[in-house]
Amino acid sequence: MKRAVIFDLDGTLSDSIQSIKYSGDKALEPFGYGPFSVEQYKYFVGDGAANLVRRALTAGGDKELVHFKEAYARYREVFRENCMYRVRPYEGIPELLATLKEQEVKITVLSNKPHAETINVIESLFGGGYFDIIQGQEEGMEIKPSPQGVFRIQEKLCLSAADILYLGDTATDMKTGKSAGVFTVGALWGFRDRKELEEGGADDLIEHPLELLRFT
């Protein structure tokens, strides 16, 4: 049985697509791009804010990314102020987390969202000190699908890869977990579909958060 779970944030713990869409549309509006649909944003996200902005600009017609530097800076600014816009935990997540804590399973977060905003979202939704480790994107740390963040959490927990489960909702997450050698589960309630998660190498798939308890 697993002794720790590493959760992705957006699309796994939190339904945050409205905050991402709001920030993206606001950031790109001065350049004449957008608004984009929720479904488009579900595929813009997944491997960091810079790549989200690149995809949105490309979708809007700026294929040479002429406006990238300005648009990315504006996105970071807008998102910093609106990272909790209409964000909520997915149904079943609070109950899952409470049960894992009762089982003395370590609960951690690994996100490509900037570190400060990752902490803000987690503490706003679940309270300060609830998670054992919160790790967002920081300077000098490679973004997912690099396994670097998983290794950092593993080292802090002093656990082997066999003790850890990684839960996420995109192929990027599946590749992250598999590259780190940990058991990797796809969340079917998130931003992407079954096909992507299977092709990403998921060891298993679950349709509801509480199904995760069969591994702990």
Contact 158, 178 (CB under 8 A): no
Q: What is the CATH number of the domain that holds 34?
A: 1.10.150
The H or E element that residue 22 is part of is helix 17-28
pLDDT in tens, 95-105: 999 999 999 99
Taking the C-alpha atoms of residue 6 and residue 111, their distance in angstroms, rounded to an integer, is 10
Give every CB contact of residue 205 below 8 A, 6+ residues apart in sequence. 185, 186, 188, 194, 197, 198
Q: Are residues 122 and 156 in the same domain?
A: yes
Domain endpoint, select from 62, 82, 102: 82
Q: What is the pTM of this model?
A: 0.96
pLDDT in tens, 6-61: 999 999 999 999 999 999 999 999 999 999 999 999 999 989 999 999 999 999 99
Q: What is the CATH number of the domain that holds 153?
A: 3.40.50.1000
For residue 23, what are the domain limits? 17-82
Number of domains in the chain: 2
Q: Are residues 99 and 117 in the same domain?
A: yes
